[in-house]
Structure 1
Amino acid sequence: MAPGTAVSGSRVAGSGGEPGLTPVGTPPPLLPDRPGPADRLGAPPPSDRLRGWAVTVAVTLVAAVLRLVHLGEPTDRGTPVFDEKHYVPQAWEMVRNGGVENDPGYEKIVHPPLGKQLIALGENVFGYDGFGWRIAAALAGVLTVLLLVRAGRRLTRSTALGGLAGILLTADGLSHVQSRMGMLDAFGSLFVMAAFAALLCDRDDIRARMARVVAEGRVADHEFGPRWGVRWWRLVAGLCIGLAGGVKWNGVYYVVAFGLLCVLWDVSVRRRAGVARPWTGTIARDVLPGIWALAVVPVLTYLGCWWAWFGSETGIDRHVVGREIGTGGLFSWVPDSLRSLWYYHARVLDFHEGLTTQSAGKHPWESKPWTWPMGLRPMLYRWSDKASGCGEPSCVSAVMLIGTPALWWPSIPVLGWGIWRSVTRADWRWAAVLTGYAAGFLPWFLNLDRQMYYFYMMPTAPFLALATVLVMGHLLGRPGRSERWRRAGLLVVSAWIALILVNFVWLWPILVGDSITPAHWQAELWLPSWR
């Protein structure tokens, strides 16, 4: 952030309480006695487009370098590590089998195909080695940073805070490691963030269109308010949610979460513009098109992810009608291919529901959701005491999935502050961020007997970065605060950012599998639960 600037959080005329960059020492503008509807629709996105893209490209390039350096290492003597052992061979089978998996003997194909197809693209181009099976996930991680910068900039109305959000995600150990693994979660995180960014664009687009309606004096033409026609950004969001579901089923929770968020935004814009019946207008003119965009489109997109399975003869459970299930009955009118897919999904659901600690045994690195917000139980993906090059006779190489503590450990007060702001100030920014975080976190409490792992938090990491920059923006101050408070806030935020970056650098050897001494390895393990 440039010297002499701070983030504004005051309700200024025409801003709707949304933050922007304000020079330190600028007196707060006079508030109108009765702000009109247009004043309550919110500030437009930042106008510094060139600077915004320059910051976006710079942060993304840094993320690309860090995500791609020595991407092909380490491996397990040339083979995948940890859960890569499931997805990497399945993706390689797709390369040789027309995009479809074929595992009739073991039936371990328990996730939708999209993530594995993306891994397969990398393998097809670069070969069956560490770089080949990880490049797609690494690129997904880089693109997530890019989208986060753009979404953060639009959310906070600050290019500086948007860039800072991207830096925080780049320096997050969980996101870093998971983006360098041939696993599925990096792809789900990418599509969720893409959907979120598209919804922010839709929100701004509708408010700009409503401002024109108000300016032209047409807001009272109908008690329900104006119609919007096709909302293309919302269709893009629905497409991205469907793609997230095509990676893993937990993407379906964002259909509900983002759908409810959009309803509240639609009611808000009609009410703030002075529409006579905002709730009825939203139901009549926004909800039904919203169901199409955020429910039907995701389902159709999800089905499209199964294109190779539909076109195959050897896909698992592709032709079960007439064998495992009958040809008649109440649903005999449904095409055999869809009935087979439904049967397949039922078997997959059976597998996941049965994957409990009691039935499958306790995995040494499993954890429960209440430990995830602070990353109290990380995961050891690889460990070897046969490494060399650390300067001592005995060397260690390890890859540990761990969120950068300086970012994750303050998450409870950060999220708590966000809940307070959402409830007491109706702050839409916090409501949006908390919705995205909750959709990736709370559903895991529905079945606590199931085996669970810390990497399930991958989709929440971008929202934690956004929550952190919102708190930092508040600490930086707003017009009306004294110069002393502003400087104190700048000092606290600068120290926090420096601590996150230093923490990431300290963890680097165990995030990428560098050769280190046994003493250094022990120094990396800060808590008993990390062992």
Structure 2
Amino acid sequence: MGRVTALATPAPERPPVRATVSPGPTLPPAVFGATDRAFGWVVTLVVTGIAAATRFFTLGYPSNDGFIGSRPVQTPVFDEKHYAPQAWQVLDSGRWIEDNPGFGLIVHPPVAKQMIAVGEWLFGYGPMGWRFMSAVCGTLLVFLVVRAARRLARSTLIGGLAGLFLVCDGLTMVSSRVALLDIFLVFFGFAAFSLILVDRDQMRERFHRAAEQGRIEDSPYGPRLGFRWWRFSAALMVGLACGVKWSGAYFLIGILVLSLAFDVANRRQYGVLRPWKGVLVRDLVPSGMSLAVLPVLVYLGTFWSWFASETAVFRYAVGNQVPEGGMFGWVPAALRSLIYYEQTILGFHDSLTNSAGNHHPWESKPWTWPMGLRPMLYHYTNDQAQGMCGDGPCVRAVMAVGTPALTWIAIPVVLWALWKAVVKRDWAYAAPVLMYLVTFLPWFLNLDRQMYYFYALTLMPFLCIMIALICREVLGLDGRARYFGFERLQLGRWLVVIYATIVVLNFAWLWPILTATPIPVWWWRLELWLPSWQ
């Protein structure tokens, strides 16, 4: 028999094994704000100084002239006639509450009038006294806008631009130079917004540290973040905003939504397995306590002087206007009296409707506010000023009007910000556009009530920030500069410089009707750009 020899088939040649490295999850950049701190503070202080110069310049002018007996006195203009004397009574009574029965019903919480009273304590009962704290808060508002925009854009240049735009806004300028309430509302409300931005970055920093230490996956809900002092401070500020006007509650809604949205985004960005449930488990109750319960407690605390007073309006409503006992007899009498007082205030505001015949010559509705189509005249005199205006009379006017270079582009700016926030998911746009809308849209719920353009003051800081963010894109500072050629970068720089120059020049043109500078009648007519401004 022959032998069969099996031939072994040679194994195929294998390619050499290459070492592979799996990238795994990468951490977001460890950037928690703009990094040029020293330059950031220089720009912040310079822009704030410019704001102070405009807000405090001839702050005691104008005023209405009056007499007490034969002694000439300066008296408030426009609605200063309500708040300046109430603030003086807050101070002069020594009880820090406006409890003079001659005032009738006091229709706003006490915080703003107590702020005005501080200025009157420093400078006495006069225009400088009752306007001083408005100018302080108007100046600090610019400071906050610079810092907030810088944090959103991670750019000191953009923060400085946002602050410059707010300096040049006519509505903000006038509101910072009169003893009205809205500048205090916006100051405290925007302070809460600024603080919640700091809280976001601080939480990202804590997440980053936990990720570096390998603690992210210790729980599917993410790590515990500890006590959040910045969020706590934001709650204090929004409580004070409500203590100025009830519309501070609009800021409260926006801040609560932002806080929860930031918490979800942070958990998702750092790879938490169940970010939404993590927010429910870890953040919902603390957020509710900080941003829902604490502001209510702060708001009640702003009435401390009302609770301590024996003569404040409706302080002892229980047993007089409100029967004792009943279903809510278990509620402390002082708190029930305050609730009755609040219900009376609500009834007062609800009765100020057009259908009830309450028409004001300078009233405006919300759809006119973004573009400033119907401003508000606070002061007007037309007299012969010793030849200052040639042979004719001089006009001295204070008109609360938005700078057109800013307000007339408001609608496309907001639409662009919405597109960037919803489609591109750009948080830098999402934060200001949310606050813009949440402080604006509620006014459409009751169009019959009396409304005025100065209610739109809440919109201006957020509009200026959104415009500055658009300038960031034009300049290529949003990370896309590598796609731009030299010519495109140069064009962007020139466009931003030209636009900023137009804003400044527009503000300078409006200066006479923002500060009651004497001007001839023909010049006054040139200042009125739209028929609705007259």
Query: Under a length normalisation based on structure 1, what TM-score does the superposition of the two structures give?
Result: 0.92
SS of residue in 1 equivalent to 2:356: helix
Q: Distance in 2 between matches of 1:303 and 1:157?
A: 37
Match of residue 44, structure 2, among 56, 61, 71: 56
What amino acid is the match of 2:427? W
Structure 2 distance, partners of 1:253, 1:482, is 44
Distance 2:508 2:105 in 1: 38
Q: Secondary structure at the match of 1:209?
A: helix
1:361, 1:319 → 2: CA distance? Answer: 31
CA distance in 2, matches of 1:90, 1:181: 15
Q: Look up the SS of the partner of 2:117 in the other structure.
A: helix
> SS of the counterpart of 2:206?
helix
Task: Give the aligned residue type for 1:332.
Answer: G
Which has the higher mean CA deviation after the structures are superposed, 100-109 or 237-246? 100-109
Letter aligned with residue 407 of structure 2? W
Do 1:155 and 1:429's aligned partners in 2 also have CA atoms closer than 8 Å? Answer: yes
Alpha-carbon distance, 1:439 to partner: 2.2
**In structure 2, the residue corresponding to 1:224 is in which secondary structure?**
coil
* 1:202-281 equivalent positions in 2, closer than 5 A: 202-281=199-278
Structure 2 equivalent of residue 469 of structure 1: 468
1:346 is the counterpart of 2:343: yes
Quick one: distance in 1 between partners of 2:279 and 2:325?
43
1:523 is aligned to 526
CA deviation map 1:453-485 (0-9, x unaligned): 000011211111101101111111232122222
Deviation readout 1:185-209 (Å, 9 max, x if unpaired): 1111111111011001100000011
* 1:63-104: CA deviation from partner (whole Å, max 9, x where unpaired): 101100100000111211111111111111111222111244
**Superposition pairs of residues 88-167 of structure 1, within 5 angstroms:** 88-97=84-93, 98-104=95-101, 107-167=104-164
Show the counterpart of 1:377: 374
Q: Aligned Cα RMSD in Å?
A: 1.5
Give the match for residue 38 of structure 1: 27
Aligned amino acid, residue 50 of structure 1: A
Quickly say closer, same or farther: Cα 1:387–1:198, change in 2 above 3 A: farther
Structure (1 or 2) with the larger CA radius of gyration:
2
Label 1:381 to 1:53 Cα distance change in 2 as closer, same or farther (>3 A): same
Q: Is the 8 A contact 1:387 1:397 kept in 2?
A: no
- Find the counterpart in structure 2 of residue 285 from structure 1: 282
Distance in 2 (alpha carbons) for counterparts of 1:84 and 1:347: 23
Task: Say whether residues 1:413 and 2:412 are aligned partners.
Answer: yes
| Inter-partner Cα distance in structure 1 for 2:353 and 2:524 | 32
Q: Within 5 Å, which residues of 2 pair with 1:444-483? A: 444-477=443-476, 478-479=480-481, 480-483=483-486
Opposite residue 401 of structure 1, the aligned amino acid is A
- Aligned residue for 1:325, secondary structure, equals coil
Q: Quick one: distance in 1 between partners of 2:487 and 2:97?
A: 63
Q: What letter matches 2:32 in structure 1? A: P
In 2, the alpha carbon distance for the partners of 1:266 and 1:34 equals 26
Contact preservation (8 Å) 1:258, 1:435: no
User: Aligned pair in 2 of structure 1 residues 476, 218: CA closer, same or farther (>3 Å)?
Assistant: same
Partner residue, 1:494: 497
Aligned equivalents of 2:86 and 2:132: distance in 1?
16
For 2:379 and 2:355, how far apart are their aligned partners in 1? 25
SS at match of 2:397: strand
**Secondary structure, in 3 states, of the residue corresponding to 2:355?**
helix
Shift of 1:36: 3.2
Deviation readout 1:338-390 (Å, 9 max, x if unpaired): 11000000000001111112224310000000000000000111111115123
* Counterpart residue type for residue 46 of structure 1: A
1:185 & 1:238 partners in 2: Cα distance?
19
Q: Which moved more, 1:485-494 or 1:419-428?
A: 485-494
C-alpha separation in 2, matches of 1:103 and 1:109: 10
Moved more, 378-387 or 197-206: 378-387
Counterpart position of 2:399: 400
**Equivalent position of 1:440 in the other structure:** 439
Which of 296, 307, 310 is the aligned partner of 1:313?
310
Residue matched to 2:506: 503
Question: Which amino acid in 1 is paired with 2:185?
Answer: G
Share of identical aligned residues, percent? 49
Letter in 2 for 1:274: G
Q: CA deviation at 1:394?
A: 1.4
1:79-138 CA distance string (max 9 Å, x none): 111111111111111112221112445633100000011111111221111111000101
Q: Is the 8 A contact 2:79 2:180 kept in 1?
A: yes
Residue 470 of structure 1 aligns to a residue in which SS? helix
Conserved 8 A contact 1:219-1:275: yes
Structure 1: give runs of 5+ residues left out of the alignment: 1-31
**Partner Cα distance (2:54, 2:353) in 1:** 36
Q: CA deviation at 1:391?
A: 3.2
CA distance in 1, matches of 2:355, 2:89: 32
Counterpart Cα distance in 1 of 2:110 and 2:491: 51
Aligned partner letter, 1:524: E
Tell me, yes or no, if the aligned pair for 2:149 and 2:465 is still in contact at 8 Å. yes
Amino acid at match of 1:495: I
The answer to whether the aligner puts 1:76 opposite 2:64 as a matched pair is yes
Task: Kindly indicate whether the alpha-carbon contact (under 8 Å) linking 1:392 and 1:517 is maintained by their aligned counterparts in 2.
Answer: no
Question: 2:54 corresponds to which residue?
Answer: 66
Q: Which has the higher contact order (CA 8 A, sep 6+)?
A: 1
Q: Distance in 1 between matches of 2:244 and 2:32?
A: 34
Q: Give the secondary-structure state (helix, strand or coil) at the position aligned to 2:380.
A: strand
After TM superposition, the structure 1 = structure 2 runs for residues 292-371 of structure 1, keeping only pairs within 5 Å, are 292-371=289-368
- Contact 2:89/2:100 (<8 A) preserved: no
C-alpha contact 1:387 1:515 (8 A) present in aligned 2? no
Q: Shift of the alpha carbon at 1:443?
A: 1.0
The answer to whether the 8 Å contact 2:371/2:407 transfers is yes
Count of matched residue positions in the alignment of Structure 1 and Structure 2: 499
Mapped to 1, the partners of 2:323 and 2:114 lie a distance apart of 31
Q: CA deviation at 1:42?
A: 6.7
Amino acid at match of 1:43: V
1:10 corresponding residue in structure 2: none
Structure 2 CA distance for partners of 1:415 and 1:243, relative to 1, 3 Å: same
Alpha-carbon distance between aligned partners in 1 of 2:22 and 2:418, rounded to the nearest angstrom: 29
What stretches of structure 2 of length at least 5 have no aligned partner? 1-20, 66-73
Moved over 6 A (4+): 32-35
Deviation at 1:326, TM superposition (A): 1.3
Match of 2:16 in 1: none
Distance 1:523 1:289, change over 3 A: same
Q: Is the CA contact (8 Å cut-off) linking 1:165 and 1:465 kept in structure 2?
A: yes
| CA distance, structure 2, for counterparts of residue 340 and residue 500 of structure 1 | 50
